[in-house]
Chains A and B, each alone.
Chain A
Amino acid sequence: MPPASSPKGTRAHLFFKRLVQQRTLAWMCIPFVIWAFIFKYLPLWGWTMAFQNFKPARSFSDQQWVGWQHFSTLFEDNTFYRVLRNTLVMSSIKLVLGFVTAITLALLLNELKNVIFKRFVQTVSYLPHFISWVVASSIVLTVLSPDGIINLLLMKLHLIDSPVLWMGKGEYFWGILGATEVWKDVGWNTIIYLAAITAIDPAQYEAAEIDGASRFKRMLYITLPGLKPVIVILLIMNMGSILESGFEPQYLLGNGMNMDYSENLDIFVLKYGLGMGNFSLGTAAGIFKTVVSFIFLFSANYIAKKMGESRLF
C-alpha cells in the first residue's frame, strides 16, 4: 500500500480512512467530547461578564456593557500587583520545591533494599496528603505558636532567646508555606516517579554495575535520565498552572500581619469579586489568569519541543 503515490493519498483522505478504521474508538470519545463542551466550553460564555457591570438579577440584554473598564481597574490597583507577585513567588516555590523534594525522595526510596522500611517511609510520607487543609493548617499554627514545639525546641537548643512569632512575620510566610506544602504532598508526588522508575530496564543497572558504576553514578546516569520524560511532561503541565498557587493554605494561614505576603490572586478575587458581589471584576481577574497560564503552557511546550524532549502536544 503506497499511499504517497496515490492521488487520493492526501492528508484529509488519510484522516477519514483512519477514522473509519477506528470508528469504535471515535464513538467512545463522543460522550467525553460532549462533556468537555458542556462543562469546559459553554462556561466560557460567562467571560462576557468581565465586560459588563454584571447584575445577577437582570437578563443578558439588560446588562450594562463597560468594555475594558474592569481590566483597567485591576491593573490600576496596587493591591493587584502585590497579589500577583505573591502568586508568582508562591507557585514558583511550590513548583521547584515540589519537584526537587519528590524526585529526591523517589531516588532515595528506590535505593532502599529493605522493603518493609521502604513501605513504612512511603506510607508515612504520603499520609499528610489525605488530611484536609483545615486540619493541616491548625497543626501548623499550633506547632508554630509562641509556646509550640518549634519555639520550645529552638529555645532548648539556645538558638533563640525568646519565642518567635512565626506567623506574625510576613517575610517568613513563603518559607513556612513551602515547608508545609512539602510536608503535606512530598509522599504523594513521589508515587508517580516511583512508578516511572519501575519501568526502567533492570538490565541497564546490571550492565552498569558490571562496568563498575557506583550507586550514585547509577542514580545519576540511569535512573534520572529514565525519569526525564515524566519530569518534562509534569513540568509543562505545571507551567500551565503557574498562577494557581493554591487557595486554602494561604487563606487559612494568612492573617493581618502576614497578608502582604500571603494574599494571592485567588484571595483577591474572593475578596473583591465574590465578597463584594462584583462578579465582573472577579471574572476579569480570572481571564487574566487564564491568558497568562496559556502563555506559560505554550512557551514551556515550545521550549521542550526545541530541546527535542517529550512534550504535551
Chain B
Amino acid sequence: MLKTKVRIASLAVLLTVLLAGCSQNNSSSPSATGDDENSPVTFSYYMFSPGKKDTLASETTIGKVLQEQTGVDWKLEYLVGDSATKAGVMIASGDYPDVISSSGEMSKLLDAGAYIPLDDLIEEYGPNIKRVYGPYFDKMKNAEDGKIYALPYTANQGEYSGSPNVGGGAFWIQRSVLKEFNYPKITTLDEYFDLIQDYKEKYPTVDGAETIGFVSLAGVANNFFTLQNPAMHLAGYPNDGSVMVDMTTHEAKVVAGTDAQKKWIKKLNEINAQGMLDPESFTMNKDQYLAKLTSGRVLGYFNYGWQIGDASKNLLSAGIDEKRYAPLPIVFDEGIKDQYVDPPGFVNNYATGISVNAKDPVRIIKYFDNLLKEENQVLVQWGIKDETYSVDEKGRFYYANEDQRKAHDDLELSRKFGFTYFGTDWPKYGGESTLTDGNAYSPGNQPEVAAASYTEGDKKFLEAYGIQTFSELFNKPEERPWFPAWSIALEQGSPEQIFTTKSDDLQRKYLPEMILGAPSNFDKLWDAYMAELNKLDKAGYEATITKVVKDRVAGKW
C-alpha cells in the first residue's frame, strides 16, 4: 500500500514538473521604473538582415558606452537563412523578441500585430525621436490606423551629402581591362561587352584557368534580381524594384516582358554563344560566386555594391589594384541618361519597432531617444574622437592615420568596435545626412575621408578619367518623390503578392533557358515565356503600384 502511495506521489511530482515546463512565464512585470532608472537590463533584438555574428551589445565598444549611459544591454540576433520563412515561423509561434528590425518583412509583422504603437511613448519620452523623425511622421504612419509602429533608417537630416564611392548598382569591370585599352570611355552595353571580348581574346587564361567574361548571381533565389534589374538600369531607370515608373505619367510598368528585358536577355544570349558568359551563373551559390570574383578570372559582372562587400574588401586588402573592379554606368544606347544612383528617398518599411512581448517599452524608447542624440549618432558612425577619427582645426572630421581608417574598414576591427552592429538596423539619421557642424554623417560620404582612402591605383584610375570621385562617373539622380517603389508594401497573400512570386518563378525558369539556349531558338522561347507571363494578372499588379506611386507623389504615404 505504502509503495503505491509513493508511486502515486512521485508520479504527481513528475506531472507537475512536466506541466510546469509547458506553461509559459508571461508574468514578468515592467520592473525598473521610478527610482532606479539605469538599473542593468538586457533586451533581445532580432534583425531580419543576414550576415552578422550574434553578439551582446556590451561586447562592443559602442555598446559598452551606450550601456554606461542607460544601463541597457542587448542580445543582438541576426537572420540565418530565408527571411520570409523566419518571419512566418516567428509569427506562427508568437515568440517575439523585445525589438524587431523588419527589413523586408514589415507588412507581415504589422499584419500579425507584432508591434506596439509608439505614438504615446514618443510623445512622452522622445524629444530626440521627434527632432529626427518629426519631418517624416506623415510617411511613417500606418495606412490603416494612422499610428506609428516603427522607426525607419532613412530619415535624412540637414543638407544632402552624396557618396563619393559607388555602393549601389553598376556594371563592374576589371581595371586591367580598362588599363589594357588605355582607359577608354564606354557607355553602351555593346561597347562594354566588346571591350571584354577583346581582352579575353588577348588573355584567354588567368593563372592557368580560363578567363570568364561575364558572370551573374542568378542562381541564388533571393538574389535573382541581379539578373532582372539591369534591364531597367540599362533603359535609364533607377532601382524601383520590379517596375519602371514613367517620369511624367507616373505609370508603373512591370519590367518582366518589356522590350528592355528582351534586349538585355538577348544580349546575354549573344555573349553566351560567344563563350563569354559563365553558365554557372545560374547554378552556383553565393559563396562560390564571391570566390569567383576574388579569383581574378572574372572580367565583368553586374551587382549592387552591398551584395559583394566582403569580396571587395578582400580584393582591396590583397592589394592588387588591377584585379579590383571599377563601376560603370552602362546604358543600352548613347543618349540614354543613366540613373544608377538612387535619388533621395524615404523607405518606411525597413524599420525597427518594439514588439508586443517587450518587457519594458519605456526603457527601450528611452534608449532609442538617447541613441538619437547627435553625440551618440557621431559615436555610432565615427566612433570616439582621437581614437577612431580626428578633428582638424576647421572642425572637419577625418582619419588621421591608417589605424583610424582600419577601425572602420577592417571587418574584424569594426565588429569589435561595434560599427558593424550599430551602423544600421537602429533608429538613426539617414545615410546621406549632414551633422549640425557640417560634417557628413556617414564617414564614407566625407570628402576628406574618401580622398585619403584612395589607393595609388584608385588615383591613377580617377586621373585617367579626369574626375575626383568614382560617383562622378555617374549621372546625378533626378527627383522621384515616390522613390523607391520597391518599398511599397503588398498585402500578405494578396493577388499582387502572388503575382510577384509567380512571375519571379517564371523568370527564374525561362531567363536562364533563353540565355543559355541556341540564339536561333531565342524568339521561340521568348514567345513561350510571354504566353505564360500574360496568363498572370500583370495589369492588376501594375494598377496597384501605379496607384501608390501617384498617392506618394501627391504627398500621401
* Residues in A lying within 8 Å of B, measured CB to CB: 27, 30-31, 34-35, 38, 55-57, 79, 138, 141-142, 145-147, 165, 167-168, 252, 255-257, 259-260, 270-279, 281
Residues of A near B91 (CB, < 8 A) are 56, 277
9 residue pairs from A and B, CB less than 8 Å apart:
A31-B15, A141-B283, A145-B283, A165-B516, A168-B282, A168-B516, A271-B501, A275-B88, A276-B493
Q: How far is the CB of B466 from chain A (nearest CB, A)?
A: 40
Contact string against A for B residues 275-300, beta-carbon threshold 8 Å, 1 for contact and 0 otherwise: 00011101111011000000000000
Residues of B in contact (CB 8 Å), total 48
Q: Tell which of B62-70, B310-318, B341-349, B504-512 binds the partner.
A: B504-512
Contact indicator A34/B280 (Cβ below 8 Å): no
Of the candidates A31, A168, A271, A272, which one forms a contact with B283 in the assembled complex, judged by CB atoms under 8 Å apart? A168
Contact indicator B288/A257 (Cβ below 8 Å): no
Residues of A near B285 (CB, < 8 A) are 138, 141, 252
Contact indicator B284/A276 (Cβ below 8 Å): no
A146 to B501, CA, bound (A): 29
A273 to B89, CA, bound (A): 11
Contact indicator B283/A167 (Cβ below 8 Å): yes
Looking at B112, B209, B278, B287, the one whose CB has the most chain A CB atoms below 10 A away is: B112
Contact string against A for B residues 222-236, beta-carbon threshold 8 Å, 1 for contact and 0 otherwise: 001000000000000
Contact indicator A165/B509 (Cβ below 8 Å): no
Instruction: Select from chain A the residue with minimum beta-carbon distance to B506.
Output: A256
Known: A57-B113, A257-B509. A146 touches B492 (CB 8 A): no
Contact indicator A275/B84 (Cβ below 8 Å): yes
A208 to B254, CA, bound (A): 75
A34 to B511, CA, bound (A): 53
A220 to B287, CA, bound (A): 48
Q: How far is the CB of A205 from chain B (nearest CB, A)?
A: 48
Instruction: Select from chain A the residue with minimum beta-carbon distance to B291.
Output: A142
Residues of B near A35 (CB, < 8 A) are 18
Contact indicator A270/B85 (Cβ below 8 Å): yes
Contact indicator B280/A27 (Cβ below 8 Å): no
Residues of B near A34 (CB, < 8 A) are 15, 18
A167 to B283, CA, bound (A): 6
Instruction: Select from chain A the residue with minimum beta-carbon distance to B87.
Output: A277
Contact indicator B493/A278 (Cβ below 8 Å): yes
Contact indicator B516/A272 (Cβ below 8 Å): no
Residues of B near A272 (CB, < 8 A) are 498, 501
Residues of A near B288 (CB, < 8 A) are 138, 141-142, 145
**Interface status of B97 (Cβ within 8 A of chain A):** no
Known: A256-B511, A260-B509. A278 touches B492 (CB 8 A): yes
Q: How far is the CB of A51 from chain B (nearest CB, A)?
A: 16
A260 to B510, CA, bound (A): 11
Instruction: Select from chain B the residue with minimum beta-carbon distance to A145.
Output: B280
A276 to B493, CA, bound (A): 5
Contact indicator A279/B88 (Cβ below 8 Å): yes
Instruction: Select from chain A the residue with minimum beta-carbon distance to B505.
Output: A259
Contact indicator B282/A255 (Cβ below 8 Å): yes
Instruction: Select from chain B the residue with minimum beta-carbon distance to A144.
Output: B283
Residues of B near A274 (CB, < 8 A) are 84-85, 88-89, 92
A252 to B285, CA, bound (A): 9
**Interface status of B247 (Cβ within 8 A of chain A):** no
Instruction: Select from chain A the residue with minimum beta-carbon distance to B490.
Output: A276
Residues of A near B501 (CB, < 8 A) are 271-272, 275-276
A252 to B224, CA, bound (A): 15
For the A-B complex with A34-B15, A146-B279 known, give 9 more contacts whose Cβ atoms are closer than 8 Å: A31-B14, A38-B22, A56-B94, A57-B114, A141-B284, A168-B282, A168-B512, A274-B89, A277-B91
Residues of B near A27 (CB, < 8 A) are 7, 11
Q: How far is the CB of A36 from chain B (nearest CB, A)?
A: 12
Q: How far is the CB of A4 from chain B (nearest CB, A)?
A: 32
Closest 3 CB pairs of A and B: A256-B508, A57-B113, A274-B88
A27 to B279, CA, bound (A): 64
Q: How far is the CB of A279 from chain B (nearest CB, A)?
A: 6
**Interface status of B497 (Cβ within 8 A of chain A):** yes
Instruction: Give the residues from 175 to 194 in chain B that come closer than 8 angstroms, CB to CB, to chain A.
Output: none
